[in-house]
């Protein structure tokens, strides 16, 4: 139904679809609104109520006493990960995780570093696959525990950090990755979205532009810990949102880059849909996200890897990732012959 140029959702949609939309809107609110809105609440409780001691004690807890937990394996809560709301989130798009081939097997005695591309705006596909128990990850890799890495500063935000920890998230820091990758008995599968906030600026429907050429820190960490690298490609991640165009050199682009330099987070204006209409809003569009897991690339343990060793493994990784994209783009990309993988 189109009214004044706005495409409204039909009134007779099945209840399950309504629940899927409600679930994904809650998830988007947790990821975007909660980190901002929590600060005025904390400030109000400290300045204007008799309960000022509670938020002060909580801030001391998260900034002083408990600040290291995000670099020591986190504090997941399986009952939160099993919550049915995440099942509806996965169904909304839907999101699927798929092995590239039967050769994609993980040794239960080793730890693996999954390297996901592209970032998109919120890394929604990767976050839901590694952050819930409904994604099918455990069916594919039953001997490994999934972790997803995010910026360390996110664990300084009251309440938001508790949500991240409960989902099995840890800090994307050297200390954190070394902790997860050095588990003696193996069994950890840690996901790093290598392109990070810089890559989100390139997120546009139908485009696949990665920030990878000069990002080699993850390769060095893999070599130091002897952890194989697993190339992982999320087809459709860039299709669920568009964003306001910010050409290089524009005032808005300079502001985004300035904020990213200060905070590590890139402020982006997403263009999605609403709850009752499809024309605008913060809810992502219903576009399938297919996460293809490539064959692990072995990394022999080297205490102090040379630049040559790092460059060699990085080159192998880039080739394998490109091969993975080219193999599957004809199945998962709308215009495969016109779509190329760009690596910056």
**Domain boundary assignment for the chain:** 13-343
Q: Name the CATH architecture for the domain at 13-343.
A: 3-Layer(aba) Sandwich (3.40)
C-alpha gyration radius of the chain: 20
8 A C-beta contact, residue 298 and residue 230: no
pLDDT of residue 269: 79
Q: In angstroms, rounded to a whole number, what is the distance separating the alpha carbons of residues 259 and 332?
A: 34
**Per-residue pLDDT of the chain in tens (344 residues, 90 and over written 9):** 666 667 767 778 899 999 999 999 999 999 989 999 999 999 999 998 888 999 999 999 999 999 999 999 999 999 999 999 999 999 999 999 999 877 788 999 999 999 999 999 999 999 999 999 999 999 999 999 999 999 999 999 999 999 999 999 999 999 999 999 999 999 999 999 999 888 988 899 999 999 999 999 999 999 999 999 999 999 999 999 998 877 777 887 788 778 777 777 777 878 888 888 778 888 999 999 999 999 999 999 999 999 999 999 999 999 999 999 999 999 999 999 999 999 99
Q: In angstroms, rounded to a whole number, what is the distance separating the alpha carbons of residues 181 and 241?
A: 33
Between the alpha carbon of residue 47 and those of residues 53, 55, 57, the distances in Å are 10, 10, 14
pTM: 0.93
Q: In angstroms, rounded to a whole number, what is the distance separating the alpha carbons of residues 140 and 128?
A: 15
The torsion defined by the Cα of 169, 175, 179 and 180, in degrees rounded to 10, comes to 40
pLDDT of residue 150: 95
């Amino acid at each position: 139904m189109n009214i004044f140029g706005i495409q409204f959702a039909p009134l007779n949609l099945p209840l399950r679809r309504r629940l899927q939309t409600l679930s994904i809107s809650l998830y988007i609110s947790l990821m975007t609104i909660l980190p901002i809105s929590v600060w005025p609440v904390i400030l109000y409780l400290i300045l204007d109520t008799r309960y000022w001691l509670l938020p002060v004690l909580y801030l001391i807890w998260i900034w002083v006493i408990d600040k290291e937990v995000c670099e020591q394996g986190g504090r997941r809560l399986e009952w939160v990960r099993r919550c049915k709301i995440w099942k509806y989130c996965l169904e909304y798009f839907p999101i699927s995780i798929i092995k590239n081939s039967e050769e994609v097997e993980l040794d239960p005695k080793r730890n693996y570093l999954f390297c996901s591309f592209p970032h998109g705006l919120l890394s929604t596909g990767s976050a839901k696959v590694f952050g819930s128990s409904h994604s099918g990850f455990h069916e594919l890799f039953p001997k490994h525990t999934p972790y997803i890495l995010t910026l360390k500063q996110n664990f300084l935000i009251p309440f938001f950090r508790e949500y991240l920890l409960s989902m099995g998230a840890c800090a994307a820091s050297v200390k954190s990755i070394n902790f997860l990758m050095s588990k003696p008995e193996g069994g950890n599968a840690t996901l790093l979205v290598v392109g990070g906030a810089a890559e989100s600026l390139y997120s546009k429907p139908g485009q696949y532009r990665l920030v990878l050429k000069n990002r080699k820190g993850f390769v060095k960490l893999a070599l130091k810990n002897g952890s194989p690298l697993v190339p992982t490609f999320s087809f459709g991640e860039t299709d669920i949102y568009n964003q306001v165009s910010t050409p290089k050199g524009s005032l808005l682009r300079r502001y985004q880059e300035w904020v990213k330099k200060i905070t590590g987070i890139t402020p982006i204006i997403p263009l999605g849909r609403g709850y009752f209409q499809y024309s605008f809003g913060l809810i992502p569009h219903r576009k399938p996200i297919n996460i293809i897991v490539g064959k692990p690339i072995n990394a022999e343990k080297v205490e102090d890897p040379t630049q040559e060793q790092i460059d060699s493994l990085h080159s192998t990784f880039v080739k394998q990732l490109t091969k993975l994209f080219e193999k599957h783009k004809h199945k998962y990309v709308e215009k495969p012959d016109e779509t190329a993988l760009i690596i910056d």
